[in-house]
A and B are shown apart, each in its own frame.
Chain A
Amino acid sequence: MQKIAKLALEDGTVFTGLSFGACGETDGEVVFNTSMTGYQEILTDPSYRGQMVTMTYPQIGNYGVNEEDVESWKPHLAGFIVREVSRIDSNFRSTGDLDSWLRERGIIGICEIDTRRLTRLIRNQGAMKAVISTEELDDAALVAKAQSSAGLVGRDLVREVLPDQPQNWNEKLSAWWDFSPNTAERGSEHAWHLVALDFGMKRNIARHLVDQGFRVTILPGTATAAEIMAHSPDGLFLSNGPGDPEPLQYAINTIRELLGQLPIFGICLGHQLLGLACGAKTFKLKFGHRGANQPVLNIGTGRIEITSQNHGFAIEETSLPDCLEISHRHLNDDTIAGVVHKTLPAMSVQYHPEASAGPHDSHYLFSRFRDMLDANSVGTS
């Protein structure tokens, strides 16, 4: 018989369900993700540090877990909330079931609760601080714990997911990226050298960069401008990462210093940091955008990209400095989904062109970054 687990929210709501994955107690900000596939990618996305993720799709774990579909070396999120966990794994690539995989990795999960009700609560009241426990089952005590938990705002969660060493990245995209074996070879004539500042980077970003022909050196997001320039890169990439961008003053300073020196491309947190470095402000969205069906209008082409998103903060449009131009907008709420610098080679998007999990509509951004480097070299040579 599975153990009882409880989920308490800071607003006083308590859900009683069953435990899966690891037992124990965990706190974090509870958010929901509407992707129907890709739970393993979501679990291993470092951007979820400090958050507990509710999958709105009710049956999770159906295809098990495997070694390939991971976005970092371990799951980073604070807890996992689903309606039902599959007890078997059915897929030829599966190497095990989700429950055991999470247990082995110490991730606490709760299942058999009304996840739609939870989602509606988050939608109406915003992302909330919460606690999952298999130990403390007293409702009032759990709610108190949720209320006194740290939350996300103002915290530097990036330091918890940073790599501690510089790393050269060589791995390319998996064969799954293309349905067709006869797609033309990607890549540039020049093997541009890129420094990727890692704030909790998803591996598929690095794979995309390698696929574009970049030589990729990954540095921790805390690296200074001097440390970066010591690698004599041709371009700078700013990765995704967890939490609030505003406490990351060190990164903002580094970007400000390098802006104009190196072509820059930022994704998600990297996008917010570029904005902050250029003088914009960020704000916290009520419940964020998390899912694989988020429509973005590409203002340049007038076409829509269905994107993968995972963010709780965004650039505030009223604070947008003159030097930045909006290149993409979220179709649902008109928030800024991408910017380009008007005069310097720098651009960023709030969403995830690397997909994983999610649709592949926006992968052109990686080749656009390569074009930016190509153009930059013409301009400077």
Chain B
Amino acid sequence: MPKREDIKRILLIGSGPIVIGQACEFDYSGTQACKALREEGYEVVLVNSNPATIMTDPGLADRTYIEPLTWETVAKIIERERPDALLPTLGGQTGLNVSMDLEQHGILEKYGVEMIGAKPDVINKAEDRELFSRAMNKIGLSVCRGETVTTLEHARKVIEEIGLPCVVRPSFTMGGSGGGIAYNRDEFDSLVQRGLDLSPTNQVLVEESIIGWKEYEMEVMRDMDDNVVIICSIENFDPMGVHTGDSITVAPAQTLTDKEYQRMRDASLAVIREIGVETGGSNIQFACDPKTDRMIVIEMNPRVSRSSALASKATGFPIAKIAAKLAIGYRLWELPNDITRVTKACFEPTIDYVVTKIPRFAFEKFPEADATLMTQMKSVGETMAIGRTFKESFQKALRGLEVGRFGFGCDHKDLWGTPEQPDLDAIRGKLSWPNERRVWYVRYAIKSGMSMEEIHQLTGIDRWFLDQLTEIIEVEDQIRGLAALDKIDAPMMKRIKRFGFSDRQIATLVGTAEMKVRDYRRELGVVATYKSVDTCAAEFEAYTPYYYSTYEDENETPAKNPDRKRIMILGGGPNRIGQGIEFDYCCCHASFAMAELGYESVMVNSNPETVSTDYDTSDMLFFEPLTVEDVLNICDRIQPDGVIVQFGGQTPLNLARALSDAGVPIVGTSVDTIEATEDREKFQVIMEQLDLKQPPSGIARNMAQARSVINKIGFPALVRPSFVLGGRAMEICYDDTQFKRFVTEAFIVAQGQPVLLDRFLEDAIEVDVDCIADGRDAVIAGIMQHIEEAGVHTGDSACALPTYSLAQPVLDEIKQATLALASRLNVVGLMNIQFAVKIEDGKPAVYVLEVNPRASRTVPFVAKATGKPIAGIASKVMVGTSLAEQGVHEIPIPRTVSVKESVFPFRKFIGVDIALGPEMRSTGEVMGSSPRFSIAYAKSLLAAGIVLPDSGRVFVSVADRAKERAVNIARDLNELGFEILATGGTAKRLEAEGIPVERVKKLVEGHPNLIDHLKNETVDMIFNTPKGKGARTDEGKIRAAAVQKGIPCITTIEGAETVVMAIKALRKEDVDVESLQERFEMDAVK
């Protein structure tokens, strides 16, 4: 059956901001879907609240709405756009949930919108545990014993039958949010209670524990004719008990016989048929008892998932694209396999390499959080590596994580052979519970001579994986035995490299420098070879240039076309807090820009979630770790004419010096300039020359130096380690006690690099500026005003474009300073500057806080707010096409106000204090736009999941220095009809101003205190700014409890003021929706 002609316009719902459990993978799937549907002549209406996505680029859909993902908002869009169909399966759990809400509220019926891909009853059957269990029993598949409950009492009855430990999973939450394993009654009660709270349907599944079983995933595709194929099998290195998003996973399955595999395949086919997913991809998880033939179905996602993205990148099979085409009626065998061209998409990919995915965590940013890995996902990103063996791909993935590791140990972070080497007890301790560092303790266990059996018993990790790790360590010991670089002969060197060892590890083991190993290795003739990812294990010729490195005989990369420039773009690696999708967005645009200029674009990245690692994005894709060695190896092979390091965040910048020293042609702003801006002393000179103001500051290499700096600059002071991104260990200290604590911490994080101290500018407005310069001209791309005061990390604060309260002379001064810096630094490409505007002596003074000669996190937001392809323009500039040649003279300031709001993972880290500070902790962002700032801000809050109350009770508690402003806020709230709750000092102050207040006890004063109000749901919003000084425990508890309860909690005074403004505005007017195409009057259908 060819494509459907009865539908013309299709609505696609994205997944919203990046959060734990939903990251770039849904930008990848949504982008593929947009392209696939438009290629077939359909009109695509896209809704997503996340401006940092490629999919929300106006060129990708006919109508692009950057609007809050609530059913009410999407209903307005449906009313305006009248789509014929809604494709709900490509926007993650968010897309699915919004689609289900639209269905339940009758919107789809009202406007005659057909859900394609999966029908509502199917989604229900897959997502509702009870219905799912029943369906599985019907086809003879076992599921975990258990029951769905809606009360704690009922839950307690269930465990009388199934016993403890047991698994608790709330229904309809994403990434298994709120789930966990209960080992005792107390844990059980609290998990059930929390699960009931978090589940949108107030349902929790209580289930028998199968911890330690082998865990597998199958990626399945089905078409309208019931043709079903398996795209990829995945085996989890970490056994059952750890969320698959937090597990190290390997493709394909490694330890299943064909009999076991085919049984699982049959089961997968039966599941997708029974659940009834009409077309598209699904992910089905299984658990297998390692000792018997028992197999259990864990769950099914009736949609494209994170694992689908992984499976797509692991096999080369474009799951999302094919899913989109199946949804509009094509059958699998009617669609070509893009990679082989001669064959069809109806087959099962087979691979001739091993893929390892390793999650990346951010517990260092949430020190109070429970770091146990369990059924609720906690990782913030992932890296994938491809090798010819598990050993090779595993070591590559470890260095691709970018956590300072260069393989399985033998690097400067390895504790083995150091005084901190753990003893057997410590090792056993770390092995016996799943945690981020367990894999290193497996290493120490093997090194200590612990038996494989014991390691297996403690961890449940399959013996085959443990033996592979043992083999790596045996080669390590051989290298140690040789002791000197020149003792390694060519066959040995090849063997070492085939086991995935990096030059850095070899250097550490034989006591030399990485570059020495590299030179020596190349002299021996041991160089990386590049093989294709082709879906078919070389059975057919592959046309897609998707490569990975290994150490074999044959190279498959094509020779260079002498008439075409090759430009390589270094990506950002795994997502982490501070570096995520925004940089992938920039890298993709660099690639698109190169294509426009007729150059050959080459992408290097290791993040399987991204659009940049789609084989369609660039002319060549190297799925490789972003390390000096791996990048240089690619350069050796393909000889790029230019390498772009500005767009992948800190990752490529950290490689820039070494690459440049090795003769790699870095294009754009020079490495010297990049370093000059990182070098405080050099930079201060430049600032003085330009007559620009900076807060007093100093550099310290030790505590004594820090002391003398602080004496000079005074409190409050901002402390931070140099060369880190995302404000790691960045703190404001107001007094000596804090000074000591934070500086000590900063030195630890700095790892030998100096610590920077700045005078902290209190009550200053922070301003972010992005600009593009070509060495001659420069244009301002956007000036953004932060809502929170300076001191809250840029990445965590909300900001508005255009600015909303800065006077023209201040803006002019900022603009002049930016242009002067661009010129003085000879910036070629993008530059981001953070300014602070502080009222001094009644007049605004402009300070320069930070200059980054690279793409910043705000580039995609600026592009969406202005409607201009900022990253593309900058890319072209970098390869020599000037602004004038591009006809870019200025980026007009938009009339519509766009507000970027940050989104935080606090719901995943129960008990963590959410107060904002200089250390970045947000994972994603949303955008709200409106002609009015207040409405734009309200929309951005709504998009971030914060629903502002229109009436009710507001708790106000602010630091002394904010009391004055709090009075005005309270007065406004009172006038708006809200009741005010407050404790001691604040209450007294408000009462003195004649504002009625209900007094609430502080936690230490007994009950009823605010926590009681939260529990009883007798408070609707909290304004709580942290005190400048002192422990945050009490306040922290209140804020954490608010997050748990889903009650809006605003932690800055500026935020509180803006919220009040937004509530006022929402009373006056309706919130409208508008597409980017309308806003920027673009030609919708090109």
Contact = CB atoms under 8 A, between A and B. Distances in A.
Contacts of B229: 304, 306
B339 to A, nearest CB: 13
Interface stretch (B253-261, B363-371, B688-696, B762-770): B253-261
B522 to A, nearest CB: 19
Interface in A1-39: 15, 32, 34-38
A306 B348 contact: yes
A357 B467 contact: no
Interface stretch (A177-185, A206-214, A240-248): A177-185
A56 B352 CA distance: 5
Contacts of A304: 227, 229, 332-333, 346
Contacts of B291: 92
Contacts of B536: 34
A243 B445 CA distance: 51
Contacts of B554: 114, 116-117, 120
B463 A90 contact: yes
B4 interface: no
A86 B391 CA distance: 12
Interface string B325-349: 0000000110000000011101111
Interface stretch (A151-159, A270-278, A293-301): A293-301
Given A90-B464, A179-B295, A116 B266 contact: no
Interface in A311-331: 331
A359 interface: yes
Main DSSP-derived SS at the B contact region:
loop
Contact of B225 (A41, A294, A303): A303
Nearest to B343: A332
A114 B551 CA distance: 9
A303 B334 CA distance: 11
B863 interface: no
A62 interface: yes
Nearest to A120: B538
Contacts of B540: 123, 332
B344 A332 contact: yes
B389 A62 contact: no
Given A117-B552, A179-B140, A332-B347, A83 B258 contact: no
Given A58-B353, A83-B388, A116-B554, A303 B258 contact: no
A113 B295 CA distance: 36
A59 B389 contact: yes
B226 interface: yes
A34 B464 contact: no
A306 B141 contact: no
Given A63-B257, A331-B343, A56 B537 contact: yes
Of residues B253, B257, B292, B353, which shows the largest number of chain A Cβ atoms within 10 Å of its Cβ? B257
Contacts of A37: 253, 256-258, 261-262
A158 to B, nearest CB: 25
A62 B140 contact: no
Contacts of A69: 257-259
Nearest to B1: A302
A107 interface: no
A190 interface: no
A117 B553 contact: yes
B350 interface: yes
Contacts of A180: 139-141, 267, 270
Interface string B527-569: 0000100001111110000000000111000000000000000
B350 A303 contact: no
A46 interface: no
A119 B538 contact: yes
Interface string A69-113: 100000000000001101110111100000000000000000001
Contacts of B132: none
Nearest to B467: A88
B263 interface: yes
B1084 to A, nearest CB: 38
Interface string B282-296: 000000001111010
B354 interface: yes
B265 interface: yes
Given A123-B538, A180-B141, A332-B342, A35 B348 contact: no
Contacts of B537: 32, 34, 56-57, 116, 119, 291
Interface residues of A, number: 64
B353 A179 contact: no
B939 to A, nearest CB: 47
B390 interface: yes
B217 interface: no
Interface string B225-243: 1110100000000000000
Of residues A69, A123, A179, which shows the largest number of chain B Cβ atoms within 10 Å of its Cβ? A179
A115 B262 CA distance: 25
B573 interface: no
A295 B348 CA distance: 8
A295 B292 CA distance: 32
Nearest to A306: B348
Given A115-B352, A291-B350, A34 B140 contact: no
Contact of A114 (B259, B541, B553): B553
B352 A116 contact: yes
B347 A294 contact: yes
Interface string A210-237: 0000000000000000000000000000
Nearest to A294: B347
Of residues A41, A88, A174, which shows the largest number of chain B Cβ atoms within 10 Å of its Cβ? A88
Contacts of B552: 114, 116-117
Of residues A36, A38, A41, A360, which shows the largest number of chain B Cβ atoms within 10 Å of its Cβ? A36
A38 B225 contact: no
Nearest to B269: A361
B252 interface: yes
A133 interface: no
A200 interface: no
Contact of A179 (B266, B348, B349): B266
Nearest to B541: A123
B1020 to A, nearest CB: 51
B463 A63 contact: no
A108 B465 CA distance: 26
B462 interface: yes
Nearest to A93: B257
A63 B288 CA distance: 14
A57 B536 CA distance: 10
B347 A306 contact: yes
Contact of B347 (A87, A176, A293, A355): A293
A62 B258 contact: no
Contacts of A177: 263
A332 to B, nearest CB: 5
B415 interface: no
Contacts of B225: 302-303
A107 B972 CA distance: 87
A358 B262 CA distance: 7
B344 A331 contact: yes
Contacts of B344: 295, 331-332
A32 B352 CA distance: 12
Which 5 residue pairs across A and B have the least CB separation, nearest first?
A180-B140, A38-B258, A56-B537, A90-B464, A117-B554
Interface of A: 15, 32, 34-38, 40-41, 56-59, 62-63, 66, 68-69, 83-84, 86-88, 90-93, 113-117, 119-120, 123, 174-183, 291-295, 297, 302-304, 306, 331-333, 355-360
30 contacts: A34-B352, A36-B252, A36-B253, A38-B258, A40-B257, A56-B537, A56-B538, A57-B252, A57-B350, A59-B354, A62-B255, A92-B291, A92-B292, A117-B552, A119-B537, A119-B538, A120-B538, A123-B540, A176-B260, A177-B263, A178-B263, A178-B266, A179-B266, A179-B295, A180-B141, A180-B270, A293-B350, A304-B227, A332-B342, A357-B262
Given A35-B258, A180-B270, 15 more contacts: A34-B352, A36-B350, A38-B261, A56-B537, A57-B350, A69-B258, A116-B552, A123-B538, A178-B266, A293-B348, A297-B333, A303-B225, A306-B348, A331-B347, A332-B342
